[in-house]
Amino acid sequence: MASKKISMAVIKRLPRYHRYLNYLLELGIKRVSSKELSTRMGITASQIRQDLNCFGGFGQQGYGYNVESLYTEIGNILGINKTFNCIIVGAGNMGQALANYGNFEKRGFKIIGVFDVSPDIIGRKIKDLEVRSLNEIDDFVVLNKVDIAMLCVPYRETAALADRIAKLGVRGLWNFSPMDLKIPYDVIVENVHLSDSLMVLGYKLNDRFPRE
């Protein structure tokens, strides 16, 4: 599962394939051709075959793909069989939403700690985790080999906190602040820029349904 040079365009489609295959699996469908998947997903069959072949020949001529094994394969490529230790930094609504969202755990993202600064929140339980003081974060990260920090703190605090956490050896940051983090450590940052997404929606709406 090491690095060749798969393009990001391909990688970003993998979770979507994974979702669709999971859905087919739930429907009890055993095999699927690139053509059928193409119709369902609105992607060309060519692209599907091209994408899958980046990782190996999962299909069989004349038959198509076995849904279950393809699902498993893509899961493996995405590494959902491996576990990541995750912490949530900032237990506001967003942090709580993430903590309560069970789907991450299923995919190998285990939330082992939640941190906040507010005395009102510290000590409260979210699911089975007690919210800890941010003061404890440094020791916690080192002691528990935290892989990923999910940053749900206010804008102003994000940059400094990201830096502090990265310095401790966390390798991935999942950033919910509307800023692009620049960090002088070897860290992978994945952004969830909600307002960017909403603004794109706004643009499309104005474009499709012009006003005035």
Partner DNA sequence: TAGATTGTTAATCGATTAACAATC
Give the one entry of DNA, its own copies, none that residue 127 binds, where binding means its C-beta sits below a cut-off of 5 to 8 angstroms depending on kind.
none
- CA–CA separation, 99 vs 6, rounded Å? 31
Which residue's CB is nearer to its own copies, number 32 or number 98?
98
Closest to 150 measured CA to CA, from 105, 90, 196, 84:
90
Give the one entry of its own copies, DNA, none that residue 115 binds, where binding means its C-beta sits below a cut-off of 5 to 8 angstroms depending on kind.
none
State the minimum distance, in angstroms, from the CB of residue 29 to DNA.
13
- Provide the terminal-to-terminal Cα distance of the chain, rounded to the nearest Å: 53
In the complex, which residues of this chain contact its own copies (CB under 8 A)?
Answer: 1-3, 11-12, 14-16, 18-19, 41, 77-80, 82, 84, 92-94, 96-98, 100-101, 103-104, 107-109, 147-148, 171-172, 174, 178-180, 186, 188, 190, 192-212
76 belongs to the binding site for DNA (CB under 7 A): no
For residue 14, how far is the Cα from the chain centroid? 12
What is the DSSP track for 192-204? Answer: --HHHHHHHHHHH
Residues 34-73 that bind DNA (CB under 7 A): 34-35, 43-47, 49-50, 52-53, 57-65
Q: What's the token pair of residue 55?
A: 């990782």
State the minimum distance, in angstroms, from the CB of residue 162 to DNA.
25
What is the DSSP track for 19-42? Answer: HHHHHHHHTT--EE-HHHHHHHHT
Which residue's CB is nearer to its own copies, number 6 or number 135?
6
